[in-house]
Structure 1
Amino acid sequence: MTTAVLICPGRGTYNKPELGTLARTFPDAGLLAAFDARRSALGQETLTALDGAARFSNAKHTRGDNASALIYAASLGDRLSLREDIEIVAVTGNSMGWYSALACGGAVAPQDGFEIVNTMGTLMQEALIGGQVIYPHTGDDWRPDMPRKAELLALVAEIDARAEHALKLSIDLGGMLVLAGDEAGIAGFEDAALRLDRFPMRLPNHAAFHSHLMAPISAQGKARLSQDLFTQPSLPLIDGRGAVWWPGATDTRQLWDYTLGHQVTETYDFTRAITVAARDFAPDLFIITGPGTTLGGAVAQSLIAGNWRGMASKSDFQTLQNETPLLVSMGREDQRGLAA
């Protein structure tokens, strides 16, 4: 039996190459039909239609009300497709991937998880408060550079302190900082930060996730989504603080409150979540569900930051990965067979 931590990706992972993912990989036609029926009842385009479109549309497929549901379904489908000889010892996710992790870890039923993600994605899209920008704090070798990270966070704090500017750390994402803010805050960072290749890079159709600017969305989510949707998880869940929600010992009201409260309005520390996953659960594999392949670098960088198995750089990770794979991305055709 191979032990694994399952990791669910967030927004920005269903792009042109992922078009048709559900048609290719989703294993439960009845469950997908149920998701489609719920979307139709709300007057939304079905996942089958979005996934089966003749061509990918940035304007349509990256909208919060569409992207969130597509990503959730792809992640859940991969969870349902795992080989029987893989034992999941814990589940975590990045940002929106927390909603997927709840379903993959048994804390919500699949259709209840869909209701949560579809509701929150729709609320985000309708309001579209602020935005996000991403910027690296490590070099090409992925070696941790804590002074550089501290320097960038100091810049963020300085900009946030300006009159009529808002800028916060949204996601600590391995070797990247995802920042959330209003237009003035993001523009201030773009003006001040050193231009590095394509960075600073704004994320299209993204709001100021994981910041105080999302307080109205948090309140609306709590008003619409009942505590009764949540139950005891069947697997340990590692949240965006690095806290673990244990089966049989979870206060489901607190889980509801965290999911629709802190998780929406405060920084999501994905780096810490992966560090806790490695140190507390010591899995043979880290498995990233689909869609997409972009989260692998952040997972590897987080493991390097935690000095997992003595890794201190990108080359160390590549050496270990080539010897015995420790990271599997199910969105990659050359790796999918290792888990599905």
Structure 2
Amino acid sequence: MSKETILVVCPGRGTYNAPELGYLARHHRGSEWLARFDALRADADKAPLSALDGAAKFSPALLRGENAAPLIHACAYLDFLSLDRDRFEVVAVTGNSMGWYTALACAGAVSPEHGFAIADGMGVNSQKHLPGGQAVLVLAGEDWTVDPALLRAVEAAMARHGVLPSIRLGGMLVVAGDNAALDALERDLPALARPPMRLVGHGPFHTPLMQASSDAARAQFPVSWFGRPEVPLIDGRGKVWRRFESAPQELWDYTFGQQILAPYDFTAAMTVGIREFAPDRVVLLGPGETLGGAIGQVLVALKWLDISSRNVFSARQGEDAFLIGMGRPSQRGIVIP
């Protein structure tokens, strides 16, 4: 029997919240790789992931970048290892923002140990940046389509106040800048479906304000850790890194240069993944499922499988889910043995 093809998506920051507490214990208790990750944390005098995941109560203060990043990476990577390879063939891997580091490991461009070390280390040095933060702008309407005139008006307001695009996320736009610029932008925006949401504890990721983080990463992580991906890897520009066409030096340079300092276009990555690889399904690794809406909005924009609105997407998901969220209990069993 032929295997179903899947495009794998790795989540980024903000996906491990109170409902996800205990995710590793529920799904990956006894995992050999979890024990290795815990040992690496212990060797560095850091709290083991099992202890963070096993806390009696969720604590946003405890799960800041230096702890959230490796925790999310471990949940996603162990989900990836649990996929039923007898039934599913991974045709490409991508990720959103911090999920790029997980995608590197899933695609085999770095080893599991090095992938974890990168995610863990970037959770720390991503806090090295000039003053500023991020805000989420919801551009899509109730039907998940975006009015081009609204987008132009938002981009004009951003230009007036020096606010930069950070992440393009389906029908949402994450923007970044210093706090005064973000305040001014919020007062100058056209009416949106929802008020802008400032992301607490986030820096101005994916902008030139992150130069200190980029410099720290280049000094910390050697080029020798990088190899050629075993499966196609789609970056935050929509570029596909293929096994025999990828130079490890260039992949390292992108990861710790442009990937940190330039906008991350998750919409482009998903568009390329859907159009070029035409997977039978898309699998969103856990924890959480906050990227599900953004992926659905990309499908609506592409009108993929005749999915032209939020209602059509929901109906399709109810009949035969094209998007499988491993953080959703009702869907997780579809892709694991």
The TM tier, using the shorter chain, reads: over 0.9
For normalisation by structure 1, the TM-score amounts to: 0.94
Cα deviation for residue 138 of structure 1 reads 1.1
Q: Deviations over 1:86-120 (max 9, x none)?
A: 11100000000000101111111111001111111
**Residue of 27, 36, 58 corresponding to 1:25:** 27
- Distance across 2 between alignment mates of 1:168 and 1:200: 15
Verify the 8 A CA contact 1:27 1:81 in the aligned structure 2: no
- Distance across 2 between alignment mates of 1:197 and 1:42: 45
Q: Secondary structure at the match of 1:287?
A: strand
Aligned to 1:170: 166
Counterpart residue identity of residue 59, structure 1:
A
Cα deviation for residue 60 of structure 1 reads 1.1
Verify the 8 A CA contact 1:28 1:77 in the aligned structure 2: no
For normalisation by structure 2, the TM-score amounts to: 0.95
- Distance across 1 between alignment mates of 2:54 and 2:280: 35
Verify the 8 A CA contact 2:232 2:243 in the aligned structure 1: yes
Question: How many pairs are equivalent?
Answer: 333
Cα deviation for residue 185 of structure 1 reads 1.5
- Distance across 2 between alignment mates of 1:315 and 1:99: 33
Counterpart residue identity of residue 102, structure 1:
L
1:27 to 1:6, Cα distance in 2 relative to 1, 3 A: farther
Q: Secondary structure at the match of 1:248?
A: helix
Structure 1 stretch 42-51 or stretch 253-262: which is displaced more? Answer: 42-51
Counterpart residue identity of residue 97, structure 1:
G
Verify the 8 A CA contact 1:193 1:200 in the aligned structure 2: no
Aligned to 1:67: 68
Aligned to 1:163: none
Q: Secondary structure at the match of 1:321?
A: helix
Cα deviation for residue 313 of structure 1 reads 1.3
- Distance across 2 between alignment mates of 1:24 and 1:42: 26
Verify the 8 A CA contact 1:128 1:206 in the aligned structure 2: no
- Distance across 2 between alignment mates of 1:232 and 1:277: 19
Aligned to 1:164: none
Counterpart residue identity of residue 145, structure 2:
R
Cα deviation for residue 222 of structure 1 reads 0.4
- Distance across 1 between alignment mates of 2:50 and 2:127: 20
- Distance across 2 between alignment mates of 1:332 and 1:199: 27
Q: Secondary structure at the match of 2:152?
A: helix
After TM superposition, the structure 1 = structure 2 runs for residues 153-192 of structure 1, keeping only pairs within 5 Å, are 153-160=155-162, 167-192=163-188
1:301 to 1:189, Cα distance in 2 relative to 1, 3 A: same
Aligned to 1:142: 144
Aligned to 1:257: 253
- Distance across 2 between alignment mates of 1:270 and 1:148: 20
Aligned to 1:80: 81
Aligned to 1:228: 224
Aligned to 2:57: 55
Verify the 8 A CA contact 1:106 1:235 in the aligned structure 2: yes
- Distance across 1 between alignment mates of 2:274 and 2:219: 36
Q: Secondary structure at the match of 1:132?
A: strand
Counterpart residue identity of residue 68, structure 1:
A
Aligned to 1:12: 14
